[in-house]
Amino acid sequence: MKALKPREQAPDPAGDVLRQYLSFMLKGDTYAIGILHIKEIIEYDKVTSVPMVPDFIRGVINLRGAVVPVIDLARRFGKNASQINRRTCIVLVELTDAQEETHVLGLVVDAVNEVLEITDADVLAPPTFGARIRTDFIQGMGRVGEDFVIILRLDQILSSEEMQLLSQVGELPSLPSGATHFGPDSRA
C-alpha cells in the first residue's frame, strides 16, 4: 500500500502553477489524475462482483470495514476488461457529487507509474478527434518532455446517475468482524 502526500501546488520558477498528477498505464496508454483526488493505492486483491450493475463496475472491496465500489477503467472507456496481473493496482479516489457528498471509489489500472509535476502551461487542450476515449473524459494533454499523458477529468467519467448507483453499491452491509471479503475472486 502506498501513501501519497501531495505537496502544495506552487508556482514554478517561471511563475506558472506546478501541479502534481499520479500517472498510470491502461491498455498501453499513459493517463494521469490530479494527486488531490487520490486517497491511496492498493494491490489488486479480492474484488467481489455485484449482480445487476453496469459492466464497468468490477465489484466491491472491503477497505477497513467500508464497502468501496471498484470501476474497471478500461471497460468504462469502452475497451476490453483489464487483465489482472501482479502489477495491477486499485487507485482509490475521492469524488464529490452534485450534492457535495464525498465518495471513495477504486479504479482498476494496469500499473501505477509515478507522480508527475506538470505546469499549467504544459497542459494542452484535449484533442477534438482521434482520442481513444471520449474527449469529455479528458481534461487535457500533459506535456512531459517529448511525450504526452492524458489527464483525466474524474468528474466527467461518471454521470450523476452512475454516481448515485455507486453510492447505493457502497451502502451494502458492512463485513462481519474479521472478514476480508464477501466471496471468492479469481486472480490471473
Q: Is the pLDDT of residue 182 over 70?
A: no
Instruction: Identify the band that residue 173 occupies on the pLDDT scale cut at 50, 70 and 90.
Output: very low
* Whether the Cβ atoms of residue 82 and residue 94 lie closer than 8 Å to each other: no
CATH of the domain at 58: 2.40.50.180
Total domains present in the chain: 1
174 inside domain:
no
Asked if the structure places residue 41 within a domain, the reply is: yes
Closest CA to 56 of 78, 38, 41, 37: 78
Mean pLDDT of 133-154: 87
Domain assignment of residue 121, yes or no: yes
pLDDT for the residue 95: 84
Residues 6+ apart with CB under 8 A from 18: 9, 10, 11, 12, 117, 118, 119
In a domain, 161, yes or no: yes
In-domain check, residue 184: no
Q: Report the pLDDT averaged over residues 64-84.
A: 91
Please report the pLDDT score of residue 180 as a whole number: 39
Q: Is residue 180 in a domain?
A: no
Q: Looking at the predicted structure, is the pLDDT value of residue 34 above 50?
A: yes
Which pLDDT belongs to residue 161?
Answer: 67
Domain coverage including residue 74: 10-169
- Whether 101 maps to a domain, the answer reads yes
For residue 24, the surrounding DSSP H or E stretch is strand 17-26
Whether residue 185 lies inside any domain: the answer is no
- What length is written for the chain? 188
Q: How far apart are CA 145 and CA 142, in angstroms?
A: 10
**Least trusted range by pLDDT, from 50-64, 91-105, 106-120:** 91-105
CA distance 50 to 58: 8
Contact between 105 and 22 (Cβ < 8 Å): no
H or E element at residue 9: none
Q: E-strand spans in 27-146?
A: 29-34, 38-43, 57-63, 66-72, 89-96, 102-109, 111-119, 123-124, 138-144
Partners of 33 in beta bridges: 22
